[in-house]
Amino acid sequence: MTRERIYTKHGDDGTTGLFYGGRVTKDSSLPRAYGTVDEAQSVLGMARAAAGPGTELESLLIPIMRDLWVLMAELATLPENRSRLESGKSCTSAEMVVALEHLIDSLSARFEPPTEFVLPGGNVVSAWLDIARTVVRRAERHSIAAAPHPSLAVPYLNRLSDLLWTMARWQEGQSLPVRGV
């Protein structure tokens, strides 16, 4: 059985191919943005692994990690080819942003928010979520140049960083009483 090789050597010149064609240097705004989203997805994988299989956190992270593939597809597309992208499949949708807002609201109702600055590291899972949050914030900064308005990549990443902060605090305080109980 002949297998295709993982390496192509096309990037040896310092360029990378994009979704729907075209090439840019590997240090341009597009690969910088989608590469940072890829890094965030990997850190979320560490949070998922630390939480363990079958946990509620894992069930919440998997769809977000899949959303990040959509975001990376958008960020890996030249502006002149973005009209070919499909909302929610290869382009960030308003529904994706709203879903994060609903999740933030739902989780926030389950614990009392801290009233002071938080020192990361309350436990391993929350620490990984805090690292993911900082990587997402960097991805957000890079995406401003890579996906200007009307793209929803930046709002999605902004909400995701808020959600990851919320998830980290939730993971630290699961033993705390739920508000209203």
How many structural domains are present in the chain? 1
Once rounded to an integer, what is the mean pLDDT over residues 74-94? 96
| pLDDT tens string 95-122 | 999 999 999 999 999 998 888 898 999 9
Average pLDDT, the chain: 93
159, pLDDT greater than 70: yes
pTM of the model: 0.91
- Residue 10 is predicted with a pLDDT of 87
In a domain, 178, yes or no: no
Domain extent for 77: 16-172
- Residue 168 is predicted with a pLDDT of 97
In a domain, 146, yes or no: yes
Any idea which residue has 């341009």 for tokens? 28
- Residue 148 is predicted with a pLDDT of 87
| pLDDT tens string 167-177 | 999 999 864 33
For 132, left (φ over 0), alpha (ψ -120 to 50), or beta? alpha
Q: Element (H or E) spanning 15, and its range?
A: strand 15-17
Percent of the chain past pLDDT 70, that is, above it, reads 96
In a domain, 128, yes or no: yes
In a domain, 9, yes or no: no
In a domain, 110, yes or no: yes
- Residue 174 is predicted with a pLDDT of 62
What is the residue type of 98?
A: V
Torsion 137-139-145-151 (CA) sign: negative
> What CATH code is carried by the domain that includes residue 37?
1.20.1200.10
In a domain, 3, yes or no: no
- In DSSP terms, 23 is beta-bridged to 17
Torsion of CA 48, 53, 57, 63, to 10 degrees: 70
